[in-house]
Amino acid sequence: MLFKEIIGQQEVKGKLLSLVREDRTPHAMMLFGPEGTGKLALAVAMTQYLACNDRQEDDACGVCPSCIKFGKLVHPDLHFVVPVLKTGSMTAPPVSDDYAVEWREALLTDLYLTESQWYESLGAENKQGIINVKESENIIRKLAFKPYESDYRMVVIWLPEKMNQPAANKLLKLIEEPPEKTLILMVSEHTNKILPTILSRTQLFHVPPISGADLREGLMKLGQADQQQIEDAVLRANGNMSTALQTLRQDDVERQHFELFTELMRLSYARDIVQINGWVERVAGMGRERQKQVIDYSLRLLRENFILNMENDSLNYMSAKESEFSRKFSPFIHEGNVHALAETFTLAGNHIEANGNARIILMDLSIRVIRLLMQKATAAN
């Protein structure tokens, strides 16, 4: 994976390249920031640059034996740790090696792979991925061996916030005192969920949202010729390349999120409990990850409608279809209910993530939405 393949992030790329060129690569690093910014791709690009047999000034060569193996994610000195889950007939706690083939395919297909997309590729329904203590033991064992081909042993830990307490504690000594020529590169979206003792042992690099100009240029290079679609994707993405790509693909999942949100808002305004019950049954029948996606999407569109109601169009990030709906709906999202609505959807998402009863959670959510939307409707009358 080459730096030039990653959209934008020139400042971060420059810092990572300088560390390698000046032989200042730390033994433990943390790339952190929002989803869809290219953190994981940057981590892999850095490891490839570190191992390249013919480094260029600003990238790996891409053609040496080491780079060819990195291009397939099969270099023997590069190890991945990712959240996994128990499936099928597994009896032992799962580890990343159990899903090595699926992981390579998923990441090579999409450099901006998201957590939910990873779980969907595994066929996950109501399960949450974790990094367990067996995984930590595997890391310690692998990094105890000498490098096979490069100067460095390298491990990329994607979403270290998914480590349970025993796994995190097990890694503390390794992170503080790793073997010589070892790089532990973590990629996080929620550093507040990581043990402070782990954070304090790593060198932190913030990866910000991708600029609109870089997103636009990147989408055009990917062969997206329709300028209006590109502009919709850039506005909708708010710096998230994964969201931009999903918008352009106009996949069924994205359309369904929009339809579910608008349906709930209309039924809630009409106080149609019978139809709302049908909505609840449909969403409750989805996997837990999909339910969380619906909640996250709803939160985003509520925020956009509030901003639109405040007549601050420059801060809006909506596609054409979302804007069309929101022009009529936004008057119902105002200072008197927006915070309560956001809290209501956030609470529902937290309860779903905690494996609560989806039907009860979603019905409670719907009833609260009815009451909060009526506040605006009453005021308007």
> What are the b/e assignments for 323-360, b being 16+ CB within 10 Å?
bebbeebbebbeeebbeebbebbeebbebbeeeeebee
Share of the chain above pLDDT 70, in %: 93
Place of tokens 């939307």: 373
Q: How far apart are CA 166 and CA 168, in angstroms?
A: 6
Q: Tell me which DSSP letter residue 182 carries.
A: E
For residue range 341-374, list pLDDT tens digits in order. 999 999 999 999 888 999 999 999 999 999 998 8
**Contacts of range 254-262, beta carbons closer than 8 Å, 24 or more positions apart:** 257/293, 257/294, 257/297, 257/298, 258/297, 258/301, 258/321, 258/322, 258/325, 260/294, 261/294, 261/297, 261/298, 261/301, 262/325, 262/329
**Residue 380 confidence (pLDDT):** 40
Mean pLDDT score across all residues of the chain = 89
Is pLDDT at 279 greater than 70 in this prediction? yes
Q: How far apart are CA 369 and CA 298, in angstroms?
A: 12
**Residue 377 confidence (pLDDT):** 44
Q: What is the mean pLDDT of residues 26-37?
A: 94
Is pLDDT at 223 greater than 80 in this prediction? no
**Structural Rg of the chain based on CA atoms:** 23
Question: Crossing angle of helices 288-309/252-270, nearest 10°?
Answer: 60
CATH architecture of 252-380: Up-down Bundle (1.20)
Q: What is the mean pLDDT of residues 32-60?
A: 94
* In the chain, where the domains are located: 3-206, 211-250, 252-380
Q: What is the mean pLDDT of residues 87-98?
A: 81
Instruction: Kindly state the helix (H) or strand (E) to which residue 369 belongs, with its residue range.
Output: helix 358-380
Greater pLDDT, 245 or 30: 30
| CA 309 vs CA 45, 321, 326: distances in Å | 43, 17, 9
Is pLDDT at 379 greater than 80 in this prediction? no
Greater pLDDT, 309 or 61: 61
DSSP assignment of 205-268 equals EE-PPPPHHHHHHHHHHTT---HHHHHHHHHHHTT-HHHHHHHHHT-HHHHHHHHHHHHHHHHH
**Residue 40 confidence (pLDDT):** 96
Q: How far apart are CA 352 and CA 346, in angstroms?
A: 10
Instruction: Kindly state the helix (H) or strand (E) to which residue 30 belongs, with its residue range.
Output: strand 28-32
**Residue 126 confidence (pLDDT):** 59
Rounded (5°) CA angle 257-261-264? 140
Residue 194 confidence class, pLDDT cut points 50, 70, 90: very high
Q: How far apart are CA 170 and CA 160, in angstroms?
A: 13
Greater pLDDT, 228 or 179: 179
| 286, 310 contact by CB (below 8 A) | no
3-206 topology per CATH:
Rossmann fold (3.40.50)
Q: How far apart are CA 316 and CA 350, in angstroms?
A: 26
The pTM of the full predicted model, rounded to 2 decimals, is: 0.69
For residue range 121-144, list pLDDT tens digits in order. 887 755 778 999 999 999 999 998
Q: In CATH terms, are 3-206 and 252-380 the same topology? A: no
Tell me the three state secondary structure of residue 342. Answer: helix
Q: What is the mean pLDDT of residues 233-252?
A: 79
Is pLDDT at 156 greater than 90 in this prediction? yes
Q: Specify the length of the chain in residues.
A: 381
Instruction: Kindly state the helix (H) or strand (E) to which residue 79 belongs, with its residue range.
Output: strand 78-81
Q: How far apart are CA 317 and CA 175, in angstroms?
A: 40
**Residue 361 confidence (pLDDT):** 96
Q: What is the mean pLDDT of residues 157-179?
A: 92
Q: Give the type of residue at 291.
A: Q
Place of tokens 């009815």: 370
Q: Is the dihedral of CA 124, 125, 128, 134 positive or negative?
A: negative
For residue range 2-24, list pLDDT tens digits in order. 999 999 999 999 999 999 999 99
Q: Which of 53-67, 226-240, 331-345, 349-363 has the lowest mean pLDDT?
A: 226-240
**Residue 381 confidence (pLDDT):** 40
Is pLDDT at 47 greater than 90 in this prediction? yes
Place of tokens 């979302």: 322
Greater pLDDT, 219 or 67: 67
Place of tokens 């901003």: 307
Is pLDDT at 254 greater than 90 in this prediction? no
Q: What tokens does 333 get?
A: 């999202």
Is pLDDT at 91 greater than 90 in this prediction? no
Q: What is the mean pLDDT of residues 234-261?
A: 81
| 289, 257 contact by CB (below 8 A) | no
For residue range 98-127, list pLDDT tens digits in order. 999 999 999 999 899 999 889 888 877 557
**Residue 234 confidence (pLDDT):** 86
**Residue 276 confidence (pLDDT):** 95
